[in-house]
Chain A
Amino acid sequence: MKWINIQPEEFWLRFVFCVFLMFLPMLLIGQVFGSDVTHGPGDVKTGYESSGYETRSISVLQRKGKTADLLQVLESPPLGLPPVPVPKDNPITREKVKLGRKLFFDRRLSLNETMSCAMCHIPEQGFTNNELATAVGIEGRTVRRNAPTIYNVAFFSNIFHDGRDTRLEFQIWQPMLAFNEMANPSIGYVVEKIRGLLDYKGLFESAFAGRGPGVETIGMAIASYERAIVSGNSPFDRWYFGKQEPAITESAKRGFNFFTGKAGCAVCHVIQKDHALFTDDRFHNTGLGWKFSTGGDQAQIPVQVAPGVKILVPKKVIDSVGTPPPSDLGRYEVTQDPVDRWRYKTPTLRNVALTAPYMHNGVFGTLKEVVSFYNKGGIPNPQLDPVIRPLGLTDSEMADIVAFLESLTGDNVETLVRDAFAAPIGDRH
């Protein structure tokens, strides 16, 4: 009865308070866990550098799957993305996608049955690995570069950081056969292994009109799944292409202006008139590769030994337990043209907030570090890309660019990740 007698101002105050109380438990849960199981490692380490760090760990059992119809995004491209290019010789079907997904998560497809594609391209970690700067392959062998994300890989014809492959159908065989990734001794070995696995019985034949496992069909199946990991309709897309003004923050809007203006990021991370892939799909020298190959290391390296505890360890001590890292000359390794030394592909920035650590060698843990690196003009070297120069951005302007980058996360990430969780993980049974 009291509600009837209250003034409108008081009513709204009470209403807002009640709504606040309703959502308080959710807010508290958000504070406790910081992230959900689909957006980042369940083993949350944010703030580990500080002595005030507290765990917000999530059980691996929370990775509960829900199968999605991934072809819907191909049939109706999300805002901000062009139609997904599908090769004529491998038309995409739901059966191929489902089969490809099964293969993608099958650890048996490595020589000692420990590595699948998904061990480096972890769904909730942006389909990359947030926990490593550069990947670790079979038997712990060193992989030189950061695992690139699978998100929106369908749109690119230069695959890998050095662009050494051109089609997803071909690409999958490189990690399958690489000595330091999955180490299968031959294509025939993989084909025969799959033929012998009872849980694959009939699946290839059904997806490929009677054709069984083979060098082509295995590649086509995995490529079909990867091609379906498409993510758009981000807050940025809804603001820029959808003209929904409140979709992103004012800081992100300012960041967009710097991104396309003063900072010049969009020269390489291209935004088209009706879509944006945020890459020119070309190769650039930022100086990071050059420094790695030619520059000296620090005499002492800070090593985090516990939350809030770092110790300076002499480089010679670290070298005593480390194998010298393999050289990495970037695009040059493909073209053999000295001009291409230490050039690496411009990555897409879609879902970039989910794909740390950054750069071809995972050297930066945060977007703030990346923007700061470019603000300083990269690392000067004889072949530094001419578009990379000191930018003169203030801290506030850099924060705006980071806010803009954080607005590029697609709206279907949870759907894609939950669908991935639904895939059976192939282990020997």
Chain B
Amino acid sequence: MNTIKQTRYVAAAILIAGFFILASHSALANETGLPHDMAKITGQEDFIHIWTLGAEGIGDEQDKLVTVAVNPNSKQYGKVVHSVSVGGRNEAHHMGFTFDRKYLWAATLDTSKIFIFDIHTNPAQPKLIRTITDFVAKSGGVVGPHTVMPVKDRMLITGLSNNRDHGGRSALVEYTDEGKYVATYWLPTDDNLQGAEKTGKYADGYNYDVRALSRLDAMFTSSFTGWSNYMMDFGKMLKDEEAMKRFGNTLVVWRLSERKPLKIFDIPGAPLEIRIAINPENDYGFVTTALTSKIWLVYHDPRGEWQAKEVGNIGDPSKVPLPVAFTISSDDKLLWVDTFMDGTVRAYDISDPFHPVQVYEKQIGSQVNMVSTSWDGKRLYFTSSLLSKWDKKGKDNEQFIKGFEWDGKELKERFSIDFFKEKLGRPHEMKFSAYSLYKL
């Protein structure tokens, strides 16, 4: 009898432990691409903070962090509730939270300034508390900070260019989360592969996004282009044969703990965003290519080696739809990807990551760039601006944030804000905040 009781107690303990493990995983799992072990908003987000590019002739013409209320229970649902102008047009682009999610680092591709906002004190009214203005000098010449990824008490920042030729060779730069420079890690080039294996024909030294899979001590960087291209008029660049040769064609796998490059994969056509699967059994991630319109899978093979494989097309690559941002759902089942040129989002069933199948598409606007999903996958938000000089011209230059609900079959628009009509600018990346996160 005692034995049976003990067995029951043990089983109950295992179940309870299992529940807490699962619960803690949910609480600490992915929202829309944030690091796996960062605190998440698993319920309703209250605000979206949108890093917005100043536009000449629009309002105060400056970059700004715009906050929109997105909790349907708010009287201000779907409205702009706050805006902080930071001075200048710095080519606002991407942002990243510190690991404690209290501060938001907003990076800029032109002036290379990084604006640090206090989010946690009052998420409805972010406050600019510091600006890093010496990123280029401190880093040894890295230009264009892009992705800001927290790793415990450090911030890893990808640079896209350099101060020698404004080309695409660049580096990862490490700061403390208090804003102190730590180190610079240049991407491997042919003359110095830094011990990395060049698995194909390319080692361009270019850089773009960074994501980590800490349980496998792995980090991944993709590759875009340098300042001269990403700041140039898009139409002018497409006609410039020399400029069009200056795009990245590589993805680098690093050992995260040592910041050491291990493998360089050929992924032709500007591999941009990287998203890592969330389920701990899924040792893979995806990257999409902007110019060649492909989905690539980066996966850990049975021998424990990282591999890269092309697994699908996005739209019709011959029409250069220009895939830009994408996200994967928290159950690793859906991949949402925006294509800028046709303003369309497509959903792919990625249950079998080697064989993505498109299951849905919808045009969001005349152009669309960023997409963010809520943790439960029921809400998707879209913004329109790609880069200040790459956005469409004329009437197709719509600038918006749009909020949608996803019922599993259809995206239904719930709100839309015209950022030009509101005299704000070009909305780019979005980050969520919630009172629940800060126990306010």
**Interface residue ranges, A against B (CB under 8 Å):** 32-33, 41-43, 45, 48, 53-63, 107, 112-114, 119, 122, 124-125, 129-134, 136, 139-140, 142, 301, 303-307, 309, 311, 313, 317-323, 325, 356-357, 362, 365, 425, 427-429
Instruction: Flag if B243 contacts A322 (CB, 8 Å).
Output: no
CB contacts (< 8 Å) of B166 on chain A: these are 119, 136
Encoded as 1 (CB less than 8 Å from any A CB) or 0, chain B from 306 to 326 comes to: 000000000001101000000
- List 18 additional A-B contacts (Cβ < 8 Å) besides A43-B205, A45-B245, A365-B242: A54-B202, A57-B169, A57-B189, A59-B189, A112-B88, A112-B89, A131-B243, A132-B228, A134-B236, A136-B231, A140-B230, A140-B232, A142-B232, A142-B236, A304-B241, A306-B269, A319-B393, A322-B239
Instruction: Flag if B292 contacts A303 (CB, 8 Å).
Output: no
Cα-based distance from A142 to B233 in the complex (angstroms): 7
Instruction: Flag if B163 contacts A61 (CB, 8 Å).
Output: no
B235 at interface by CB-CB < 8 Å:
yes
CB contacts (< 8 Å) of A45 on chain B: these are 242, 245-246
Instruction: Flag if A60 contacts B241 (CB, 8 Å).
Output: no
* Nearest CB in chain A to that of B366: its residue: A320
B377 at interface by CB-CB < 8 Å:
no
Shortest Cβ gap from B135 to chain A (Å): 9
B149 at interface by CB-CB < 8 Å:
no
In-complex Cβ contact of B241 among A56, A125, A365 (8 A): A365
Instruction: Flag if B202 contacts A55 (CB, 8 Å).
Output: yes
Instruction: Flag if A57 contacts B203 (CB, 8 Å).
Output: yes
- 23 A-B residue pairs with Cβ-Cβ distance under 8 Å, sorted by A, are A43-B167, A57-B191, A58-B189, A59-B189, A112-B110, A114-B110, A124-B165, A125-B165, A129-B228, A131-B246, A132-B243, A133-B241, A140-B91, A140-B110, A140-B233, A303-B238, A306-B268, A309-B268, A323-B233, A323-B393, A425-B164, A427-B163, A429-B138
Shortest Cβ gap from B205 to chain A (Å): 5
* Nearest CB in chain A to that of B144: its residue: A114
Encoded as 1 (CB less than 8 Å from any A CB) or 0, chain B from 203 to 245 comes to: 1110000000000000000000001101111111011111111
Instruction: Flag if B191 contacts A33 (CB, 8 Å).
Output: yes
Instruction: Flag if B141 contacts A114 (CB, 8 Å).
Output: no
CB contacts (< 8 Å) of B165 on chain A: these are 41-43, 60, 119, 122, 124-125, 129, 131
B407 at interface by CB-CB < 8 Å:
no
Ranked nearest first, the 6 interchain pairs of A and B with the lowest CB-CB distance are: A322-B235, A140-B231, A306-B268, A429-B137, A305-B291, A321-B234
CB contacts (< 8 Å) of A112 on chain B: these are 88-90, 110-111
**Complex interface residues of chain B between 372 and 399 (CB less than 8 A to chain A):** 388-394, 396
**Complex interface residues of chain B between 45 and 95 (CB less than 8 A to chain A):** 88-91
CB contacts (< 8 Å) of B318 on chain A: these are 311
Known: A134-B240, A136-B228, A303-B238. A428 touches B390 (CB 8 A): no
Cα-based distance from A319 to B205 in the complex (angstroms): 31
Instruction: Flag if A357 contacts B242 (CB, 8 Å).
Output: yes
B341 at interface by CB-CB < 8 Å:
yes
Cα-based distance from A323 to B169 in the complex (angstroms): 27
Cα-based distance from A63 to B291 in the complex (angstroms): 31
Instruction: Flag if B249 contacts A306 (CB, 8 Å).
Output: yes
CB contacts (< 8 Å) of B232 on chain A: these are 132, 136, 140, 142
Instruction: Flag if B167 contacts A320 (CB, 8 Å).
Output: no
Instruction: Flag if A318 contacts B239 (CB, 8 Å).
Output: yes
Cα-based distance from A177 to B242 in the complex (angstroms): 27
Shortest Cβ gap from B224 to chain A (Å): 13
* Nearest CB in chain B to that of A34: its residue: B190
CB contacts (< 8 Å) of A321 on chain B: these are 234-235, 238, 341, 390-393
B186 at interface by CB-CB < 8 Å:
yes
B192 at interface by CB-CB < 8 Å:
yes
Cα-based distance from A425 to B142 in the complex (angstroms): 12
Shortest Cβ gap from B226 to chain A (Å): 8
Shortest Cβ gap from A179 to chain B (Å): 11
Shortest Cβ gap from B331 to chain A (Å): 33
B162 at interface by CB-CB < 8 Å:
yes
CB contacts (< 8 Å) of A319 on chain B: these are 235, 393
Instruction: Flag if A43 contacts B204 (CB, 8 Å).
Output: yes
CB contacts (< 8 Å) of A54 on chain B: these are 201-202
Shortest Cβ gap from B212 to chain A (Å): 24
CB contacts (< 8 Å) of A125 on chain B: these are 165
Shortest Cβ gap from A366 to chain B (Å): 10
Shortest Cβ gap from A187 to chain B (Å): 21
Cα-based distance from A124 to B391 in the complex (angstroms): 32
B136 at interface by CB-CB < 8 Å:
yes
* Nearest CB in chain B to that of A319: its residue: B235
In-complex Cβ contact of B249 among A59, A139, A307, A313 (8 A): A307
In-complex Cβ contact of A53 among B91, B201, B233 (8 A): B201
Known: A112-B88, A321-B392. A313 touches B238 (CB 8 A): yes
Cα-based distance from A360 to B233 in the complex (angstroms): 19
B33 at interface by CB-CB < 8 Å:
no
Cα-based distance from A305 to B243 in the complex (angstroms): 11
Shortest Cβ gap from A94 to chain B (Å): 25
Q: Which of A63, A113, A140, A323 has the most CB of B within 10 A?
A: A140
Cα-based distance from A125 to B389 in the complex (angstroms): 25
Known: A43-B167, A58-B190. A320 touches B249 (CB 8 A): no
B134 at interface by CB-CB < 8 Å:
yes
Shortest Cβ gap from A1 to chain B (Å): 43
Known: A112-B88, A134-B240, A306-B249. A55 touches B235 (CB 8 A): no
B150 at interface by CB-CB < 8 Å:
no
CB contacts (< 8 Å) of B269 on chain A: these are 305-306, 309
**Complex interface residues of chain B between 147 and 165 (CB less than 8 A to chain A):** 162-165
CB contacts (< 8 Å) of B141 on chain A: these are 60, 425, 427
Cα-based distance from A317 to B249 in the complex (angstroms): 24
B123 at interface by CB-CB < 8 Å:
no
Instruction: Flag if B393 contacts A322 (CB, 8 Å).
Output: yes
B168 at interface by CB-CB < 8 Å:
yes
CB contacts (< 8 Å) of A55 on chain B: these are 189-190, 201-204
CB contacts (< 8 Å) of B204 on chain A: these are 43, 55, 57
B351 at interface by CB-CB < 8 Å:
no
B121 at interface by CB-CB < 8 Å:
no
Known: A56-B190, A57-B204, A317-B341. A41 touches B167 (CB 8 A): yes
CB contacts (< 8 Å) of A58 on chain B: these are 189-191
* Nearest CB in chain A to that of B240: its residue: A133
Shortest Cβ gap from A119 to chain B (Å): 6
Instruction: Flag if B242 contacts A133 (CB, 8 Å).
Output: yes
